[in-house]
Every structure is written in C-alpha cells, then in structure tokens.
Structure 1
C-alpha cells in the first residue's frame, strides 16, 4: 500500500507541475463569467442556470482532463523510459498502475471541486442551497471522469494515442445516448436493434446512469435506491476496468 501511495503522490505532483490544471483555471473563469451573465437574463430560472453551469462545467473540464491525462500518463513514462527507473525498485507493475490511477483520480477530484466551488459562488449569492442531490451529482460526475480515464488508459495500452482518444469519445457519446435511443418507438419495434443495444449495455458503460443533473430540481423523481444503484454501477465499472488494465499492463512488453 505504501508503494501505491508513493506513486500516487508523485503522479499528482507531475500532473500539477505539467500545468494541465491551467485548463481548469480558464474553464472556471469562463464558467463564472457565463454563469453570472446568463443568470442576469434568466428570469425565474436563475438558480437552475447557476447550478447547471456549475455541475456541467465541472463535468466537462474533468472529462477533458481525464482523456488528456489518460492517453499520456503511461505513454510518456514509457517513451521517456522513466518507467524503468520506477520498476527497477521493489514495486510491481500492478502497484505502479494502481498508484497512477489513484493519483489521477485525486487530480480529477480537485479539478471538479475547483470549478464547482467557483461556480457555486453565483448560485449561493442568488439564494441557492446545497442539497444532497447536488452533492451526489457532483460525486457521480467525478466517478464518470475516472471511468473515462480508465477507458482511454485501456485503449492506450493496446493501440495508438489517436485511436485511444477517438474510441473513448465514441464510447462517451454512445454511453450517454444509449438509454434514450432504447426508448424510441422506432427501436422498440425492431428486435434486432434492441438486441444490439442490450449487448452494448452488457459490455460497455451506460453513462446516463451516472448523470443526476436532470434531477437536481426534481429530486422527487429519483429514489434513494436509484442513487445507490448509480454509485454501485460506477464503482463496479471502475473496479472491473482497473483489473483489466492491470492485467494488460502486467503482461505488456515495454519497448
């Protein structure tokens, strides 16, 4: 466990020093300005606009960071050969990978908190209150970004960086659309399409299950059981993807 925490610590520092969090800073500033301006012209919906910008902006920034970091976090280590220095010490490949995952998760969590915290200034100044559903939506947003990180990490271990990003983006958009697509009458009347969609849900993540933003002002439409299921679903996928990535990385030829 000590080795994992050490790798996580250095990964966190490396990401911070690489200045990728400048993306977070600029997005935070942009969202704060847009949040304030749009709330001025949103008659009767000021709080909704403010919190939508906060949660949406935090998720957007974290997802961008997840893909950007995920496609580079191991590739750069291998290309620069610094990974050989780390693995020459009494540390296994699996410990090294888990440390990387933990370190990046910390960065994504920090990015989300920064953007949401800044955006919340406008929300609270307008008389809003932080409810449990907002906090759950925020945490599930972090879980989604970690999932994207693990997905792009998986592809980066077996293919090129460009294909890793493309495949991850495709899975992201399909993951958010698949539930809505399955509810279309056109799809329901065609067993073949339903079979394909159900097969997708079996093997690939339905990211819409991690999206609680539509329920922030309609919390009565979602039950505690559904929220718990969303957490279980997200954590299960994280564990599965972490295990798969660990097996691939353990057997990968580092050249």
Structure 2
C-alpha cells in the first residue's frame, strides 16, 4: 500500500508541469476560434470529460489555470504570467485533499514548498530560492512531529604525500540518498545553492573524492567547504555542508 501511494505521489508531481493532450477543440469566453485563445479556454478529453480551464490574455496563459482528473475533480491549479508559472501552484489528491503548494517567480520555485499527506497532515517543508534548493528541509513523521534525524555529511582525509605525493579528501552522506551531487564553495547568504558553485559529480559509489598533488618540498594550506545535495525517500532535496581546514607539508623524506 505504501509503495502504491508513493508511486502515485511521483505521478502527481510529474503531471503539474504538463498540459493534458485532448482531441476536442477548445471553447472559451471571448473567443470563438480555437486558433485564437483569449479569456477562459476550456478543453475536454475525447470522452467528454473536462480536462483544463486556462485563462488567456493576449493569447498567452495569464492568470489561473485549472487541470482536472478524469473523474471531474480538481487535480491542480496554477497561476501564470505570459505563459510562465508565476504565483501559487497547488496540487490535489483525487480525494480533493491538498497535496502540495509551491510559489513560483518567473517560472522558478521560490519560497517554502509545502507537501501534505492525503489526510491533510503536513508532510514536508522544502525551501527554494529561484529554483535552487537550500538548507532547512523539514520532514514530518506519520505522527505529525518534525523529523529529528537527517543524514550527516561525513568527510575523511588520507595523507599519502610520502608515498605518492597525494592528499585525498573523500565525502559522503552517512545514509544513502538518491541523485546525490556535490559542490565546492559557499552557499548563498541565506543558505541556498547557486550557479557560482563548482559542481562535482560523485563517483559510482555515490561519494566525492578530491585529490591534491603535493610535490616534495611544498606546503598546502586551504579551507575547503563541501556541499552535498541528495533526494530523500519523500523526493525532497536535502542539502548539507561541511568545512575542513587543510594543512599538509610534503618534506620529501
């Protein structure tokens, strides 16, 4: 039962960004032609059920768009501005309970995304800043309590300067997460990822490995901030970071 519900949640999230394919021509207020969209345009599926109600202005999505399940119940409602998500987007379970609320700014997630269980209880609060995930994920247990334990970012160093002039840093999560990615640099002032970070793909085992070459007679001193992001079992991005001070000398003997 849990697996079926989990698969349903994945399908629900994937559907929000997609228009439903329909065969019937659109009908809408302010327009008699399906080629010119203006006002509220309604589309039906081939079986006659209502699929979408989308508000157009200047032939672009502007305002509220509604998407429906085949049983006629509301599946999602999204605010648009010039064909781009801008404002609040809501997803619903088939039992009409709210599943997810996300704020968009010019097509990018911005703010706290909230997810709910099908009985209305809060499931997760996910922070975003212009589509970038950040620190501060809060997931809730089935009892409605904030989850206290999250994976830790563990960093280990290996000094092999005397053997082969290498100083190796390895980082990984203390618990397995999916879709792990690593970055080097500092998070934004508010704790979010951003496009100026150096992105490093993980090794096949899901860990990060950085190797410094330290020739004989040289000294390495550096502060390194490692950031990792992975997907939890609830499909939420979890961000963690850890800074280490590197100070190693290869005397050559």
Q: Which has the higher contact order (CA 8 A, sep 6+)?
A: 1
Give the TM-score of the pair, scaled to structure 1. 0.24
Compare the two structures and name the one with the higher helix fraction: 1
Q: Kindly name which structure, 1 or 2, has the bigger radius of gyration based on alpha carbons.
A: 2
Give the TM-score of the pair, scaled to structure 2. 0.24
